[in-house]
Amino acid sequence: MKTMVLKLLEVLRKGLKILKNRVKAKKEALLARLAGKESTSSQGERWLDHNANLVDKQQVLEALGAQWLLHIPPICF
């Protein structure tokens, strides 16, 4: 059971890393435009706020890892 859970957590970590790499170039380009006071489309801003914002996914992964380490049953959402 322990190795299975650890493998699943590792798969999730790898998947998050792949997702971060996929959004990185577009996110950096949009952020550079915003930093340079250039206009961006509302679609680009929405993308940054939602699809490119991976904080919630990172937090869920960290919570799952912490719960496993503490042997606390996961919270059902």
- 36-68 residue pLDDT tens: 988 889 999 999 999 999 999 999 999 888 877
* pTM for the whole structure: 0.75
- 2-27 residue pLDDT tens: 778 888 899 999 999 999 999 999 99
How far apart (Å, rounded) are the C-alpha atoms in residues 47 and 53? 8
Instruction: Please give the biggest Cα pair distance in the chain.
Output: 52
Would you state the pLDDT for residue 77?
59
Q: How far is CA 30 from CA 13, 35, 49, in A?
A: 25, 9, 11
* pLDDT category of residue 1 using cuts at 50, 70 and 90: low
Domain boundaries, the chain: 7-70
